[in-house]
A = this chain, B = another copy of it.
Amino acid sequence: MIRAAIMEKPLAKVRIVDLPEPKLEDGAALLETIYSEVCGTDVHLFNGRLAGVPYPIIPGHINVGRITQTNGPVYDVDGNLLHPGDVVTFLDVHETCHNCWYCLVAKASTRCPHRKVYGITYGVQDGILGGWSEKIYLKPGVKIVKLPWQIKPEAFIGGGCGLPTAFHAVEQAGIKLGDSVVIQGCGPVGLNAAILAQLAGALQVIVVGAPALRLKLAEDFGVGAVINIETMDTADRIAAVKELTGGRGADVVIEATGVPSALNEGMAMVRDAGTYIIVGQYTDNGEVTFNPHLDLNKKHLTIKGVWGIDLSHFYRSIQIMAKYHQRFAWERLISRHYSLTDINQALEDVEHCRVIKAVIAPNGK
């Protein structure tokens, strides 16, 4: 039997159940979970704030584990044949159809209506398709990546889903060599964006957020300046960004807060004709009011909403992590490890920002 954590419905405490070992289809694999994460999305799942979730579900979309079994030859995306014992991760996004208008004509696969996500849009009745479980069932065709030797499972889960999400945001930002970049927010997405913006050519990275401990981590990760929202008001924050950027504002601002009102501050922090990336508004937190003439049109701004990831973001994030594993200690993003039975505590800690990242170790650390 496999122990797994089940989210029955919104606002119901997660409970632990025993599920039978699945029978593997041709091309499927079974993974012994090393780590899964509890991220903001899971809090949204708990609070019932995502549409179209087929409760009951087994959450846990970003995971790392050890192959225990395959049915027939199974390969990773680089074409490596996988064997029991291999430490791997996999893209949570699955079943993108490559057959519809969005996939093939618009080439916007994140908008494919057939797209499914492990730990979010699969229900328990679909299988053990989430990481809050001792084992995870990898359906045929799931995109698996063997973890390079430079990446410890601990570092991988430290990067978590924030890393490829930030990768997508930084890619869309089109950062040019020498740009100044402001990151709003210093949760997992914001901190990863702060790392990646530097690697993508930013001359100057400024992180705006709180609390001080997270900003300290941003500084340790090499950002040039931090602005603490607990000790400085909005007007002063905007003034501080202007002062750091020749009076103009930043070439690029990346929003990673989830708070609608952050948009007003962000628009004011971008320079005229600059770019503003909105990646943090992953769930409905209400509205925001702005002046389209003063804030957008006259400033000649470009604003891009970034949502979800595809394999390119996931794959390249792993390569980046392998290369820079000594320069950036991603495991420092982890505040605390939890067992399966502690998950309700983990959810609470994430919701109240007591931790940067909460990691689940279903088989013990």
Contact = CB atoms under 8 A, between A and B. Distances in A.
Interface of A: 77-79, 96, 98-102, 104-108, 110-111, 141, 143, 167, 170-171, 176-178, 196, 199-201, 203-204, 246, 248, 251, 260, 263, 271-273, 278-294, 296-308, 310-312, 315-316, 319-320, 323
Contact of A108 (B141, B282, B300): B300
Contacts of A143: 99, 104
Given A108-B273, A319-B178, A299 B305 contact: yes
Contacts of A251: 106
A106 B249 CA distance: 12
A289 B289 contact: yes
A308 B272 CA distance: 13
A101 B104 CA distance: 17
Contacts of A294: 284
Nearest to A304: B302
A108 B311 CA distance: 14
A121 B161 CA distance: 40
A286 B248 CA distance: 24
A189 to B, nearest CB: 12
A110 B246 contact: no
Contact of A171 (B141, B176, B284, B292): B176
Contact of A302 (B96, B178, B248, B302): B302
Given A177-B200, A201-B199, A273-B106, A307 B302 contact: no
22 contacts: A77-B99, A99-B141, A99-B143, A104-B143, A104-B310, A105-B316, A106-B273, A108-B273, A177-B199, A177-B316, A178-B316, A178-B319, A260-B293, A279-B297, A281-B296, A281-B298, A284-B293, A287-B290, A288-B289, A299-B305, A300-B306, A302-B305
Contacts of A301: 303-305
Nearest to A323: B203
Contacts of A110: 273, 300
A8 B107 CA distance: 38
